[in-house]
Chains A and B, each alone.
Chain A
Amino acid sequence: MPTLRVNGERREADDGARNLLSYLRFDLGLTGTKYACGEGLCGACTVLVDGQALRSCMTSVGAVAGGDVTTIEGLAPEAASMGELHPVQRAFVEEGAMQCGYCIPGFVMSTVGLLAREPHPTRGQVQEALAEHICRCGTYVRILRAVERAAGGATPGSTP
């Protein structure tokens, strides 16, 4: 039986072939990670595995066995106010970067992964890192601003 850590907790999965997204959502009840395409084309299901952004819909529990999985719930688990959020989450709130919000956990996770390896990304690097994500509500203008803010690069209201 594969074991892994999810948001810091050690977990044992029954079935290594289990789809990672289904495992997180249905078996662990971590529904903040979303399904939107199931084909690796939209980024809604993005989680971090050992700090790297990964499409959970495209992989199995067995494939990440031994790894450290972080979901959107694990970024700032105790946060009760804005100040306690992860800086990337806070930047999305401050820039109003959301409409329905369904795509947002995925964007946030990819951004966390990006900033971990590239603390001061260029606009091009941001677009590349988020190119595989879709927001159907079309909030890209604000998402770009939020990522820039999280990277310490922008002031409120600056237009991309």
Chain B
Amino acid sequence: MSAEGAGLDVFGDVTFGIPDRLRASYRTTTYFNTAPDEPMQRWLTVRPDGRVLAFAGKVEYGQGVRSGFAMEVAEELRLGLDSVEVTLGDTELVPWDLGTFGSGSTAYVGLQLRRAAATARAALLDLAADRLDLPASELGLAGGRVVAARDPARSLGYGELVADAYRRAEIPEGEVDLTSPGEFSVLGTERGRVDAMDRVTGAAVYSRDVLLPGLLHAAVLRPPSLGAELADVDARVAEQLPGIVRVVHEPAGPGRPALAAILAESDEQALRAASVVQARWEERSGQPSRWDVPRILLDSARDAMVMQESGDVEEGLGTSARTLEASYYAPYISIAPMEPRAATARWEDERLTVWAGTQRPFGIRSELAAHFEMPEARVRVIAPEIGGGFGGKSIYPLALEAARLARAAGRPVRVAFDRQEETQHSTFRPAALVSIRSGVDAEGCLVAWEYEAIHAGERALIGRRGSESPYAATHLRTVVSSADSPLPVGSYRSLGAAVNHFARESHVDEIAAAAGADPVEWRRRHLGEPRYHGVLDEAVRRFGWRSAAPGSGARDGRGVGVAVGIDVGSYVALCVAVEGGGQEVHVARVSAAIDCGLAVNPDGVVNQIEGGILQGLGGTLTEAIEFEGGVVLNPGFARYRVPRIHNTPRVDVGVVGDPLVRSTGAGELGIVPIAAAVANAVYDATGQRIRELPLQRQLQPAG
């Protein structure tokens, strides 16, 4: 309820847009470990001072959701963007939410906010109709006021309309009267980020920046290798050092990992003391290294899921004029967000507040409540600004660590990963091995397609994403398996879609090369979905693509490549040009086109595509996790090479979606086709077909 005791609150279903089959999984898995306590919660408030507050359980980690949500609300209430204030990711204030992953869910929350704002608009019109004694049809909205159409001098501000009493409206279950795209004045227009100022002045608060009075800094003893168990801690020397307030050692218990940490008045005091603690760890012996991974994948493949099947692949291959067979490999890569995770916890009167830059504030609240056996209502999780997440910050063990330590110390505690910890104690994009067999007829048309992918780890959904082929073939079979994983795996931008696209779009290029066909033409012949054609045509036009079969050029160190893709219902096509031979390849130019339906904020979409492309160049060219015996050997930026500013190609992006089509995600699309497009361009430039990421490692010296 509004603090003033007056104003208008709009309530609505917090599970809007979540498919029924997923609701069945509430409280069951890591990502679905939470459930709404109250189905109807507050989405929007119109305050007596005329300000409009919007609430959403999503978090801002760079995708611009705060701005997108502000635009949806501003559109329906005919407001300027600066009259809308968006609160995100604070479990005490915002409607329950599963978490910020899978761009589609964000689109639904945006839609629900739009519906909330349209509901508020209808309520405001009703109130004004009463007061002005006019039918609602003779009223309009402008600049935060309801105005009589015939006599603009007669008007009432939103604040005035709601100042006399507290009111509650509910978003109707069915259709809500939304503004039609033809009348949009905010949605689909170029707008800057509403939170841009704070980001250039240093005012934006990230989880690492939450400093409370009386705060203690923790240095947590971390296992030296994966799975190591803490056997013994001797902190007698450490305890004597200046600034040390406490040494906490909670042994492991049922459902509770061991936790040992030094708590100090300053960060450096804690670290110094931790460095002289004598800790004995029982390490797991015989852990595999990165060289073992392909073998592990093949030997432990299981839970094969048939994603597509038609005709008979063996028969198709038998009748093909030409067949091809190839395998593609992608190693583990690190998410490496710029902000290593941190959490700060405070207990007050048996109530717990934790600041944690997580993509799942409600999920983390459920974890904390379960651990301390207390009602969720007494736990508050606040996700401040997040310095990059890309899917990885759904898992956030630091929240519980900070809460346990704060409880033990009786003071607020901050736990923060350093860069090495962020890499070593994180999850990775799974390594994957894909084998493809294909057959074409005499004209080079696809007859048979067999796609078998093995992605490391138990999270089968990661590997399945983006595995289905969009190319017409009579005989088709796509199978995706899980396998053992020596490293913990988790979400990373587009899950397995980027890896599946690397394999498929590379193989298609090989088919085109063997058939002497232009790879754009070949795709056009085999793609049915018009939205694929839309993005492909646009990318090709922007790029100035000249038809030729891959590898047919002069190979003077320049080459071009193309790839298309789909993810979370959005379509993308990329054309790239590379330069340079030998072991250094430079991506000089990228033209992209994307169709994500209604682009709420086109510049935001372009920014996401550019970012996905740039980030994806890392996994394409240089990034790979090296590990041995449960230890990551390249946990820092010195030997885990990510793209830097001098690697930046010229990038141009076209947005071609139909505004009448519901918005789908854009955050993950840039990364999906980039590896294949570059590998294809490298082939075109050098004649080398590289089927293993990162490409730079596989390139032969020039000569």
Are A73 and B648 neighbours in the complex by a CB distance under 8 Å? Answer: no
Shortest CB-to-CB span from A138 to chain B, Å, is 3
Q: Which of A108, A127, A160 is the one whose CB lies under 8 Å from B200?
A: A108
Bound-state CA distance A131–B268 (Å) is: 29
| CB of B607 closer than 8 Å to a CB of A | yes
Bound-state CA distance A137–B668 (Å) is: 12
Contact flags A118-160 to B (C-beta < 8 A → 1, else 0): 0000000011101101111111111110000000000000011
Bound-state CA distance A8–B491 (Å) is: 45
Shortest CB-to-CB span from A110 to chain B, Å, is 10
A residues near B (Cβ < 8 Å) are 18-19, 22, 25-26, 29-39, 41-42, 44, 71-73, 75-76, 79, 82, 85, 89-90, 92-94, 96, 98-105, 108, 126-128, 130-131, 133-144, 159-160
Shortest CB-to-CB span from B615 to chain A, Å, is 4
Contact flags B600-632 to A (C-beta < 8 A → 1, else 0): 000100011011111101000000000000000
Bound-state CA distance A70–B415 (Å) is: 27
Are B648 and A134 neighbours in the complex by a CB distance under 8 Å? Answer: no
Are A134 and B651 neighbours in the complex by a CB distance under 8 Å? Answer: no
Are B268 and A159 neighbours in the complex by a CB distance under 8 Å? Answer: no
Contact flags B174-198 to A (C-beta < 8 A → 1, else 0): 0000000000000000001101111
When C-beta atoms are compared, the residue in chain B nearest to A75 turns out to be B201
Q: Which of B217, B612, B614 is the one whose CB lies under 8 Å from A140?
A: B614
Are B200 and A104 neighbours in the complex by a CB distance under 8 Å? Answer: yes
Q: Which of B268, B615, B648 is the one whose CB lies under 8 Å from A22?
A: B268
Contact flags B26-63 to A (C-beta < 8 A → 1, else 0): 00000000000000000000000000000000001111
Contact flags B412-428 to A (C-beta < 8 A → 1, else 0): 00001011000000000
Which of B332-340, B545-553, B571-579 binds A?
A: B332-340
When C-beta atoms are compared, the residue in chain B nearest to A94 turns out to be B192
Are B199 and A101 neighbours in the complex by a CB distance under 8 Å? Answer: yes
Contacts of A79 in B (CB 8 A): 197, 201
| CB of B554 closer than 8 Å to a CB of A | no
Are B202 and A72 neighbours in the complex by a CB distance under 8 Å? Answer: yes
Are A101 and B64 neighbours in the complex by a CB distance under 8 Å? Answer: no
Which of B143-151, B375-383, B385-393 binds A?
A: B385-393
Which of the listed residues B63, B193, B199 has the most CB atoms from chain A within 10 Å of its own CB? B199
Number of A-B contacts (CB under 8 A): 188
Contacts of B637 in A (CB 8 A): 37, 39, 41-42, 134
Q: Which of B390, B610, B636, B645 is the one whose CB lies under 8 Å from A131?
A: B645
Bound-state CA distance A34–B650 (Å) is: 28
Shortest CB-to-CB span from B70 to chain A, Å, is 15
B residues near A (Cβ < 8 Å) are 60-64, 192-193, 195-206, 208-209, 211, 217, 266-268, 336-340, 385-390, 416, 418-419, 603, 607-608, 610-615, 617, 636-638, 642-648, 650-652, 670
Bound-state CA distance A93–B611 (Å) is: 16
Bound-state CA distance A61–B650 (Å) is: 41
**9 closest cross-chain pairs (CB), A and B:** A32-B202, A138-B614, A102-B387, A100-B62, A99-B62, A101-B199, A72-B202, A31-B209, A138-B611
Bound-state CA distance A35–B146 (Å) is: 48
Shortest CB-to-CB span from B339 to chain A, Å, is 5
Contacts of B192 in A (CB 8 A): 93-94, 96
Q: Which of A19, A39, A100, A133 is the one whose CB lies under 8 Å from B644?
A: A133
Q: Which of B202, B611, B646 is the one whose CB lies under 8 Å from A105?
A: B202
When C-beta atoms are compared, the residue in chain A nearest to B342 turns out to be A35
Are B199 and A144 neighbours in the complex by a CB distance under 8 Å? Answer: no
Contacts of A19 in B (CB 8 A): 268
Which of the listed residues A22, A34, A35, A159 has the most CB atoms from chain B within 10 Å of its own CB? A35
Bound-state CA distance A89–B340 (Å) is: 24
Which of the listed residues A32, A38, A71, A72 has the most CB atoms from chain B within 10 Å of its own CB? A32
- Given the known interface contacts A71-B202, A96-B603, the answer about A139 and B197 at a Cβ–Cβ threshold of 8 Å is no
Listed by A's residue number, 17 A-B pairs whose Cβ atoms lie within 8 Å are A22-B266, A30-B202, A31-B208, A35-B416, A37-B636, A39-B637, A92-B200, A96-B193, A96-B603, A96-B607, A98-B199, A100-B60, A105-B202, A128-B646, A131-B645, A140-B644, A159-B652
Shortest CB-to-CB span from B382 to chain A, Å, is 16
Are A72 and B645 neighbours in the complex by a CB distance under 8 Å? Answer: no
Contacts of A130 in B (CB 8 A): 645
- Contacts A98-B62, A104-B200 known; list 9 others, CB within 8 Å: A22-B268, A26-B211, A32-B201, A36-B387, A100-B61, A102-B388, A134-B338, A136-B390, A138-B613
